[in-house]
Amino acid sequence: MPTHDGLIIGGGISGLALAHWLGLHANPGTWELWEASDRLGGTIGTDRANGYSVDWGPNGFLDREPLTLQLVDEIGLRDSLEPANDQSEARFIVKNGRLHPVPFSPPAIITTGLLNPAEKLRIFAEPFIRARRDDSDESVFDFAARRIGRGAAETFVDPMVSGVYGGVAKELSLPSCFPIMREMEVQYGGLVRAMIAKMRQKKREQRAAGVPKKKSGSAAGPGGRLTSFRSGLDVLVMRMGERLKPLIRLSRSVQRITRLGDSWQVTAAGCEPQNFRHVILACPTFSAAHMLREFDRELAIALDAIPYAPIVVVATGHRREDITHNLNGFGFLIPRTQNLRCLGSIWTSSIFADRAPGGHIQFRTMLGGAGDPSVMELTDDQLWQTIRSELNPLLGIKADPVFTRIYRWQQGIPQYTLGHRERRTKIEQLTAHHPGLSVVGNAFYGVGLNDCVKMAHRLAQKIRTPQEVPA
């Protein structure tokens, strides 16, 4: 049986980006990419119907990661990029049945209706809170409560964590989910000090380079502007798929991986086993665990220890005249303290105008997450009732939607819960015992598309020059 150069298992952004960074579009050798489903993209997908364009999962990436922009350039999609509208900058948080703008400046914090006076004062005390030097793990919630107070943590940080991870801030690890925040505390002594230092440094750099002021991110999240492609995010994976076509084998669900001499024997459902020198697991860790359970039980258990949160995306299309809110903004998040079932809603057509036909608008509302897994058991009708009862009063929606789509992600987003760093290290150590076997994907160093592209780049360099690139 011939031994092939390598196999990438999983055709989501991680597997596709790895194939790209390995240069397989130009020089495929005998590499292959096997994808279990009959399409590429994993959680990236877009439906187009009735003039609506609806992303199933992610709706874009932040334009701050040079490697993602480099990839976009290299696959010839730079001209198709679509940055979020300027008008979508404002973000809202729900409190007591009303939308409140997220306060991004000290005067806005003073006047916001989201916090009481004591909670506001506590935020302003942040620069005087001593940095924690202990490097042991800490939850996102505990970090935020320690630095900006419990009220602000519940109001801003908990819903932000549901929005990004579908997670619960008290369960997720700060250094694993938001390593930049931990660095800000360690390096500068606190978040405000770090922001001031970084702003000064940026201004100095801009002055030195003579460049005009660049748009930066808001206080609600990491810097960068949400960016997608005209008509939908799947443009990215479709283009990558076209370029990598000779490698791609769809509907190839890997069942088993074993060692055979110097190579790996891989068996997919309904196929004869094949041999590869390199095997890269670019699939969810629970799938990887299943493939490896006979060959290395300890590694399979370690992979299986990374939990995933379920998430439901409900897209609705409405006639503009049926909604009284002006919809100038990005959308809103709902803190757990408000006892509503929706996690938040994105005003998709305010962000990217071409996602709804003229005179119509599109929302994408998220439910579930690690804090409410039973959402997966709701029928379509129950989901509608929930959304109708929670969204209609908030936005002044006067009529039922004219377009709907529901996407259920049973194991949607990996959760970097407390202890994630140790779990990740264990997987890396166990994998290192198996030359030619590697893991990549959103379960390790970040769930954003940028993180996936970056990790794939690092692995591609390592595969090409094993000695030169640190793990």
CB 190 within 8 A of CB 127: yes
| Amino acid at position 250, single letter | L
Shortest Å distance, C-beta 286 to ligand FAD:
8
Contact footprint for ligand FAD (CB under 6 A): 9-15, 34-37, 42-44, 57-61, 253-254, 282-284, 287, 311, 313, 409, 412-413, 441-442, 447-449, 452
Shortest Å distance, C-beta 264 to ligand FAD:
14
Find, among 34, 440, 14, 16, the residue nearest to 273 by Cα: 34
Cα gap 100→392, rounded to integer Å? 16
Shortest Å distance, C-beta 20 to ligand FAD:
12
Q: Which is nearer to ligand FAD, 6 or 10 (CB)?
A: 10
Q: Which is nearer to ligand FAD, 115 or 437 (CB)?
A: 437
Using only the alpha carbons of the chain, give its radius of gyration.
23
Distances (CA, A) of 49 to 37, 58, 282, 351: 22, 18, 31, 19
Q: Which is nearer to ligand FAD, 279 or 449 (CB)?
A: 449
Shortest Å distance, C-beta 419 to ligand FAD:
20
Q: Which is nearer to ligand FAD, 127 or 373 (CB)?
A: 373
CB 265 within 8 A of CB 258: yes
Shortest Å distance, C-beta 197 to ligand FAD:
27
Q: Which is nearer to ligand FAD, 33 or 395 (CB)?
A: 33
Shortest Å distance, C-beta 49 to ligand FAD:
19
Cα gap 141→245, rounded to integer Å? 44
CB within 8 A of 464, min separation 6: which ones? 22
Angle between helical axes of 140-148 and 179-188 (0-180°, round to 10): 40
Shortest Å distance, C-beta 367 to ligand FAD:
10
Nearest residue by C-beta to ligand FAD?
42
CB 288 within 8 A of CB 440: no
Distances (CA, A) of 144 to 76, 120, 133, 183, 190: 41, 14, 15, 14, 11
Q: Which is nearer to ligand FAD, 129 or 164 (CB)?
A: 164
Q: Which is nearer to ligand FAD, 36 or 391 (CB)?
A: 36
